[in-house]
Amino acid sequence: MPTPPACDTLVPVLGDQLSPELSSLRDRDPATTVILMMEVVDETTYVRHHKRKLAFILSAMRHHAEALRADGWTVDYVRLDDPDNSGSFTGEVARALTRHAPARIAVTEAGEWRVAAMLEAWETLFGVPVAILPDDRFIASHADFDEWANGKSTLVMEFFYRDMRRRTGLLMDGKKPAGDRWNFDKENRKPAVADLFMPRPLAFPPDAITRDVLGLIAARFPDNPGSLDRFDYAVTAEQAQAQADNFMRQALPKFGDYEDAMLTGERHLWHSILSPYLNAGLLDPLDLCRRAEAEYRAGRAPLNSVEGYVRQIIGWREYMRGIYWREGPDYVHRNFFGNTRKLPGFYWTGETDMHCMKEALDQTLDTAHAHHIQRLMVTGNYALLIGADPFDVHLWYLEIYIDAYEWVSLPNTLGMSQFGDGGLLGSKPYAGSGKYIDRMSDYCRRCRYDVSRRTGEGACPFNALYWDFLDRNEDKLRGNRRLAMPYRTWDRMAPAERAATRAQAAGHLQSLDEAGDAGY
């Protein structure tokens, strides 16, 4: 019998590194490499993840291990319920070192500060060389982002995005942007109407591996938020590709037009619902952008949609990651307004009579997904208006969304949505009254509250809360030129009207306090 080859390199592959082209595996010899994949309690409990998020990640990990084995790799896979599981990445690497005695460890850099610190400690802790390799699934490296950001007084996403277009050549005609314009946002704010032929994402019924994971999650995390019913997310790279094909064919053509729209009962509209797969590594961002561009070049999708889609990925997604790493581990504690209110209990139950909130929350608790405008202008906006603690809001988003990892959730939530950083990502807070929600959705027509009223019984809570937010934070916001108009409107209101608005908001906030069910 030939002796099995010695393990030269141990490659830990983390749960959001499920990509065959991972930097830590590139040019490596499968005969002398052991891949280590670890389901660990630390990762499953650092927040109270939505049950569906847990099921998706663990099932995708198990399927990825199978795919790697089929490609000829040796995978040492530790399951959550293995009796000797130590519960942490570091503990499992320590155990794997005794099993395989590798000469070195190679690992692709982690996606968040917490885990990055663990990886940094391994070389000293274990006395084995550890190569931490860049995560080049992202287009901009940390150095690229810093080079763009250094010396700038404001970090405007639009300019970062244009650089990324030039760099990738996406939607470029020579040195010019396709269609001679960089930005089609003005065309992309149409409200939607119900449409029987609305695109639908594909559904993937659980296979044996997923069914096992669903059982494990149901048994071990019964009190986590969300539901496992009718779990139908893709869990393999092939399924994720099929979902991407479906999006390109059916939804991309209207993606731009209805990017900001919301409709009762319509959970997907023309969105891609590909973020879980992108963030876990089952899909490649640049590949998706190139495919979207090919749809435009072939005349199958209009430029406003394709540009809007490419902007989300090489613009917003890369920009958020750049901000996360640039701002450092303390970014999470910023609280520009000094807000302290706890999130109301209905964020975990959906039990509210505000129809817009109920739609966004029910959908989120059911599927662990909501689209951007629901996250920003409904649940995020409400949290901002009531003065919720941005750290708590961050925790809620991180636990509840299937695509949430700190590098992307934190800047979107604490930064963009809660203005916790005082305006690093946006020149004014994303605060809006019911009027915005009414313009972009059919929610208000189905709500028990009256969106046209600010005060009195039955008035839409967002209205008084919006003006109260401006009033309450006047010292911090009045100097903001982009808020000059709303402050002029507030100033022009009769004193009695202003007082009634403040009282209406205070009544709503008091009712939250009296409910006594706040989270965290």
Contacts to ligand FAD by CB under 6 A: 271-275, 278-279, 309, 312-313, 316-317, 320, 371-372, 375-376, 380, 397, 401, 403-404, 408-409, 412-413, 416-417
For position 54 contacting ligand DLZ by CB under 6 A, the verdict is yes
Q: Which of 214, 283, 410, 444 binds ligand SF4 (CB under 6 A)?
A: 444
Q: Which of 280, 274, 245 is nearest to 372 (CA)?
A: 274
Q: Pick the stretch among 42-50, 175-183, 220-228, 312-320 that binds ligand DLZ (CB under 6 A).
A: 42-50
Stretch that binds ligand SF4, among 49-57, 333-341, 413-421, 459-467 (CB under 6 A): 459-467
Q: Does 44 bind ligand DLZ (CB under 6 A)?
A: yes
Residue nearest to ligand FAD (CB): 312
Q: What are the contacts of 215-218 at 24+ separation with CB within 8 A?
A: 216/58, 216/80, 216/81, 217/51, 217/54, 217/55, 217/58, 218/51
Beta bridge partners of 9: 33, 104
Which whole-number Å values give the CA distances from 474 to 213, 333, 341, in the listed order? 50, 22, 18
Binding mask 380-419 for ligand DLZ (x = CB under 6 A): -------------------------x--------------
Structure tokens at 101: 């005695």
- Residue 398 makes contact with ligand SF4 by CB under 6 A: no
With beta carbons less than 8 A apart as the criterion, state whether 272 and 259 touch: no
The type of residue at 382 is Y
List beta partners, residue 10.
Answer: 34, 105
Nearer to ligand DLZ, 16 or 392 (CB): 16
Write each residue from 317 to 346 as x if it is in contact with ligand SF4 (CB under 6 A), else as -, in one continuous string.
Answer: ------------------------------
Smallest distance from ligand DLZ to CB 310, Å: 26
Residue from 14, 320, 376, 388 touching ligand DLZ (CB under 6 A): that is 14
Please tell me the total number of residues recorded for the chain in this structure: 520
3-state per-residue secondary structure call for 239-255: HHHHHHHHHHHHCHHHH
Q: Binding of ligand SF4 at residue 375 (CB under 6 A)? A: no
DSSP, residue by residue, 136-196:
TTSSS-HHHHHHHHTT-SS--HHHHHHHHHHHH-TTEETTEEGGG-S--GGGG-PPP---T
Please state, in angstroms and rounded to a whole number, the distance separating the CA atoms of residues 33 and 102: 9
Answer for the pair 9, 28: CB distance below 8 angstroms, yes or no. yes
C-beta nearest to ligand DLZ: residue: 15
Binding residue for ligand DLZ, selected from 18, 34, 36, 43, defined by CB under 6 A: 43
434 near ligand SF4, rule: CB under 6 A: yes
Q: Which of 49, 355, 375, 394 binds ligand SF4 (CB under 6 A)?
A: 355
Residue 171 tokens, joined: 């939607």
223 CB-side CA count, 13 A = 2
Does 22 engage in binding with ligand DLZ (CB under 6 A)?
no
Q: Count other C-beta atoms under 10 Å from residue 56's C-beta.
A: 26
257 binds, among ligand DLZ, ligand FAD, ligand SF4, none (CB under 5 to 8 A by kind): none
Dihedrals phi, psi of 38, to nearest 5 degrees: -135, 120
CB 331 within 8 A of CB 412: no
Distance from C-alpha of 337 to C-alpha of 330, rounded to nearest angstrom: 16
Supply the minimum distance, in Å, between the C-beta of residue 476 and ligand SF4.
Answer: 25
Among residues 18, 115, 170, 400, the one that binds ligand DLZ under rule CB under 6 A: 115
- Which residues lie near ligand SF4 (CB under 6 A)? 354-356, 434, 437-438, 443-444, 447, 449, 451, 460-462
Q: Which residues bind ligand DLZ (CB under 6 A)?
A: 14-16, 38-40, 43-44, 49, 54, 57, 110-112, 115, 405
